[in-house]
Amino acid sequence: MSVVLLRHTPDPERVVAIAGRICYSPSTVAELEERFDDEQVGRMIAMLLRLGHTSPLEHVSFTFGIEASRACLNQLVRHRIASYSQQSQRYVRADSFPYVIPPTVQGDEEARAILDRAAESSRQAYARLLEMGIPKEDARYVLPMGTLSRIVATFNARSLHNLFRLRCCERAQWEIRGIAREMLDLVRGVAPRLFAKAGPMCETHGTCPEGDMSCGRLARLRAAGKGNQP
């Protein structure tokens, strides 16, 4: 499981701030570009996030290279306001496919042996089907959900806020949660003010939408004086 930030809109915070300011200013875009200083950029971003005026965040994008299991990437691509290009099992042979091992399995010798045997059985079945002349696009049906896959994914900043709100939550599945948190760390490295309020709602808004299914983290944050109050 790995995440790299391949590219992003240059000076993304400034782009968002100018896009937001033009909504409230009689100035031209050229005038704003010329005189908008960094302090004004910070104030504008803070105002947009405070007001929930997040459409200007759609003007900047971030492109990631991600390696994770098929099970994880099936969850990622459910975030539809994004662009995806995934390694194809129709065209790429998977004879010696690597696979992701869940932590609960990794720490249990018997469970790990079961998973490894199942993966080896899938590998042998896949190879045999190819030997029989079965196309790769059909032989892949025996491959496990844990098979490692690679994807290039591009999101705008508004879509990323939505992803982080849902997938950084403790209730999210462990692998997609790990991917989301790595992505959040990366974008905060280049646009800290833009993503200062990004993350699970218990951290950013002092609320939890999970109801009776809540993990209890909000209560722990409040007890420690760390959760934002609603």
Active site residues: 167
d(CA 176, CA 170): 11
d(CA 51, CA 63): 27
d(CA 165, CA 197): 10
End-to-end Cα separation, the chain, in angstroms: 35
Phi, psi of 11 (to 5 degrees): 45, 55
The answer to whether 59 and 155 have CB atoms below 8 angstroms apart is no
The answer to whether 13 and 191 have CB atoms below 8 angstroms apart is yes
> Going along 30-81, which residue ranges are E strands?
61-69
Per-state percent for the chain, helix, strand, coil, to nearest 5: 50, 15, 35
Maximal CA-CA distance, the chain: 70
Pairing status of strand 61-69 against strand 82-86? unpaired
